[in-house]
Chain A
Amino acid sequence: MLEHRPLQQSTPLSTWKKLTKHPFFGVFLSLFVMILIRILGNINAIPSGVVDVFAIIWIYIIIGLGFTLLLGYTGLASLGTAGFIGVGSYVVAYILGTAGMPLIVAFIVGIMISIGLGTVVGFISLRIEGMYLAIITLGLSEILVEVFKFWTKVTKGLVGFQLDRYTILGFAVREEQVYYVLVLALVLTMFAVLNIINSPTGRAMLSIKNSTSAAQAMGISILKFRLLSFIVSTVLAVIGGMLYMMYTRSTIPNIWNIALSLNILAAVVIGGAKSIWGVSLGTIFIFGFNQLVLARIPFFARYGNASLFINGALIILVVMFYPGGIVRMFSDLSRISKKAYHWILSKVKEYRYGPEE
């Protein structure tokens, strides 16, 4: 028998609740936060140094989102990320600074190079797996750093490459405009990655991570998806490098070292490798915590790198006891608070109406 239900009234509250359930709600929320940070910076509510730190964090989130496809979905560990970011920075440096060509050329060239690099590493990953792959990509990254150091005609060598202020379509570009470009790029990346991981492509990648043989038996082409994930992650790393160069206007071979690759890996693992929010939180934590919080404490300001100790200790603790990452913490907290709420409710009822029989 059909039950007659009254039509549900759409109140502002229920509309809001429906909106928050939408998968893209978080992306729009983060867009809002990112623009808010810039506006607060403009009215001097927060110092411009902090805004710069956040801008660099947004770039690393773009790179981390590419990396999570690789690590969290296809299950391939790569330590070559820093080298690829460096490639992006030098492409922009050379094409804008030395060749004097417009930015769009730099982007086309950078993406072509990154697709090439991603294809090469993807084919390597078909022959070599696991820790071997991490070490091979580390070697590749070292070769790239050697190129940055010694191909002085293009990279200006060990002293690094400083870019003058440049123009796009006749406008002199300032940090503020690049910040909005960064935000746009990050939001587009979030949309793209969300779509990939919620599509058959993402599930195919996940199945490869869980068992290569089972995935093959189901008719999933290892070649196709490994190549795809390597190409996507390399393209995002190179784009991150190009944005980095556009924002900071300086690059130097020594920063594209193994420590940066390890930090990106740590950010992805600590945040939670399967969720884009986990990656974002992890990146903010790894790259932001010491610069935004610890740098204000005199002890850490005096000893420079001492804040890394806290970072490292927290990484170890998270990995040892909380492998779901920071993003797990939110679901755990909401579960615990719900439990506590029901417990209190039952206690109140007991007090009012006496114990249940």
Chain B
Amino acid sequence: MTLQQILSMLFQGITAASFLALITFAIVLIFKTSYTTNFAQSSIATFSAYVITNLFVNIMMVNNPEGNPVMMLLFSIVIGIIVGFGFGLFIDTMLIRKSRYSNVLTKQMITMGMILVFSGLFPVVFGVYAQPTPMPLTRRVFELNVGGSTPIYISGHSLISIVTTIVVLGAIFIALKYTKWGLGVRATASNEVVAGMMGVNTKFITAMSWGLAGGIGALAAGLFAPTVFTLSPDLMMGLQINGFLAAVLGGFSTFAGPMIAAFIIPISRVFAWQFLSNEWSNAIVYLLVLVIILIKPVGLLGKRIAKKV
């Protein structure tokens, strides 16, 4: 095992982690402000990926073949993010808030119902056939020489994904820490009733969190879709399941824990794939995560919350 191999595996793991980190953040943001797990996260993201691809391939490239593809793609991604934002907002303001009886199970059931709604929408809106996803931003593959016989190959798309993830999540973490909105989110997360009494507009905070989560999911889907080459209705389902596991592994009670877990899981999967077994790498990682959670139920960074009886 040479340094090159280890580095290129690490790079693979970090690329996978960059998609997972976005989805995990979206799940945790909704959990912290609304106390529910959003099962429709992957469906919203997949819908946005369909919107981005169709807008770019079927509308923009057809109507304006001489235009700059990068600008058109960026425009499509922005539209996709807006669509994701809108769906997130819709679930919170039109469904969850309007429901007559609201508890944890109700909210979860509404998001599960949304999965079915989206599964019904995909064939009607976008057709029944699988669509290929172009990768127009960059097809370049960089070679990085770290002193050895073979260089490390780094694909431009992975680099873009990693940088985007770091920039977006970094901006959001800074906003959480230093802006008034971030303070509101943290106050709502710690206690919604008390935050409301202190003058925080918790409804606005919750709605914005849902919208933001939808938008982040759309961004993740837009970055992830070209790496699997075809669109399918369960494009993001695997990422969502991993996101849930990462959120539990890191501990739902903090923002940083799930992010760390979102990097641990894909990287350990790549290493398990290489060193232990090609086929069983997923199962090994899941088992490991389950064992860690059993030993430490609150997660890696979580704190035990005392419950009032």
Q: 18 interchain pairs (CB within 8 A)?
A: A128-B294, A130-B104, A134-B37, A135-B244, A139-B241, A140-B290, A147-B283, A150-B283, A262-B112, A303-B124, A304-B128, A306-B124, A310-B120, A315-B116, A316-B95, A316-B114, A319-B106, A321-B99
Q: Which A residues contact B (CB, under 8 angstroms)?
A: 77, 124, 127-128, 130-132, 134-136, 138-140, 142-143, 146-147, 149-150, 213, 257-259, 262, 265-266, 269, 303-313, 315-316, 319-321, 323
Beta-carbon contact of B109 and A131 below 8 Å: no
Q: Which residues from A are CB-within-8-Å of B36?
A: 131
Measured between beta carbons, the chain A residues less than 8 angstroms from B99 are 319-321
Tell me if B113 counts as interface (CB < 8 A to partner A): yes
Contact A146 B282 (CB under 8 A): yes
CA distance A259 to B112 in the complex (A): 9
Residues 55-98 of B, flagged 1 when their CB comes within 8 A of A and 0 if not, give: 00000000000000000000000000000000000000001001
Please give 19 more A-B residue pairs, beta carbons under 8 A apart, in addition to A316-B95, A323-B101: A128-B293, A131-B31, A132-B252, A136-B290, A139-B286, A143-B283, A146-B286, A150-B283, A257-B237, A265-B109, A265-B112, A306-B124, A308-B117, A310-B120, A313-B117, A320-B99, A320-B101, A320-B106, A323-B106
B residues engaging A (CB < 8 A)? 31, 36-37, 39, 95, 98-101, 104-106, 108-110, 112-124, 128, 233, 237, 241, 244-245, 247-248, 252, 279-280, 282-283, 286-287, 289-290, 293-294, 297, 309
Cβ–Cβ contact B128 & A143, under 8 A: no
Contacts of A304 in B (CB 8 A): 123, 128
Q: Roughly how many angstroms separate A308 CA and B294 CA in the complex, as a whole number?
A: 36
* Distance in angstroms between the alpha carbons of A278 and B293 in the assembled complex: 35
Q: Determine the distance from Cα of A321 to Cα of B100 in the docked complex, in whole angstroms.
A: 6
Using Cβ atoms and an 8 Å threshold, which residues of chain B touch A135? Answer: 37, 244-245, 247-248
A139 to chain B: which residues have CB within 8 Å?
A: 241, 244-245, 286, 289-290
Partner of A132, one of B118, B248, B286, B289: B248
- Nearest CB of B to A142, in Å: 6
Measured between alpha carbons, how far is A251 from B109 in the docked complex, in Å? 28
Q: Which residue on chain B has the smallest CB distance to residue A286?
A: B116
Contact B124 A124 (CB under 8 A): no
Question: Are the CB atoms of A146 and B114 closer together than 8 Å?
Answer: no
Kindly state the separation between the CA atoms of A143 and B297 in the bound complex, as whole angstroms.
Answer: 19
Interface contact A308-B248, CB-CB below 8 Å: no
Is B237 a contact of A319 with CB atoms below 8 Å?
Answer: no
Chain B neighbourhood of A305, CB < 8 A: 119-120, 122-123, 233
| Distance of A281 Cα from B117 Cα, bound (Å) | 21
Q: How far is the CA of A150 from the CA of B284 in the complex (A)?
A: 12
Which residue of B105, B128, B247, B280 contacts A150 across the interface (Cβ within 8 Å)? B280
Whether A320 pairs with B100 at a CB distance below 8 angstroms is: yes
Q: Which of A138, A262, A316 contacts B110 (CB 8 A)?
A: A316
Bound complex: CA of A85 vs CA of B300, how far in Å? 32
Set of chain B residues within 8 Å of A140, measured between Cβ atoms: 290
Q: Do residues A128 and B297 form an inter-chain contact, with CB atoms below 8 A?
A: yes
In the complex, what residues of B have CB within 8 A of residue A258's CB?
237, 241
Is the pair B115, A259 in contact by a Cβ cutoff of 8 Å?
yes
B252: chain A residues within 8 A (beta carbon): 132
**Looking at the complex, which one of B120, B290, B293 makes contact with A306 (CB distance below 8 Å)?**
B120
Smallest Cβ-Cβ distance to B107: which chain A residue? A319
Residues of B within 8 A of A146 (CB): 280, 282-283, 286
Closest chain-A Cβ to B297's Cβ sits at a distance in Å of 5
Which chain B residues lie closer than 8 Å to A306 at the CB level?
Answer: 120, 123-124
Interface centre among A131, A306, A310, A323 (most CB of B within 10 A): A131
Known: A305-B119, A311-B116. A143 touches B287 (CB 8 A): yes
CB distance from B218 to the nearest CB of A (A): 20
> Which of A142, A257, A303, A312 lies in contact with B286, CB distance below 8 A?
A142
Cα-based distance from A258 to B240 in the complex (angstroms): 11
CB pair B106–A127 under 8 Å, yes or no, is no
Distance A312 CA – B95 CA, assembled complex (angstroms): 13
A51 vs B121: C-alpha distance when bound (angstroms): 29
Task: Specify which chain A residues have a CB less than 8 angstroms from the CB of B241 in the assembled complex.
Answer: 138-139, 142, 258
CA distance A213 to B308 in the complex (A): 10
CA distance A308 to B173 in the complex (A): 38
Residues of A within 8 A of B112 (CB): 262, 265-266, 315
A310 to B110, alpha carbons, bound, how many Å?
A: 14
Q: In the complex, which residues of chain A have a beta carbon less than 8 angstroms from the beta carbon of B31?
A: 131
| Set B37, B110, B233, B245: member contacting A319, Cβ < 8 A | B110
A262 touches B39 (CB 8 A): yes
A136 contact set on B, CB distance < 8 A: 248, 290, 293
Complex contact B113–A315 (CB within 8 A): yes
Min CB–CB distance B98 → chain A (angstroms): 7
Cβ contact within 8 Å between B121 and A309: yes
Whether A319 lies near B244 (C-beta < 8 A) is: no
Residues of A within 8 A of B120 (CB): 305-312
Most buried by B among A139, A265, A266, A304: A139
B297 touches A127 (CB 8 A): yes
Residues of A close to B293: CB separation below 8 A: 128, 132, 136
Given contacts A127-B297, A143-B286, A319-B99, contact A312 B123 (CB under 8 A): no
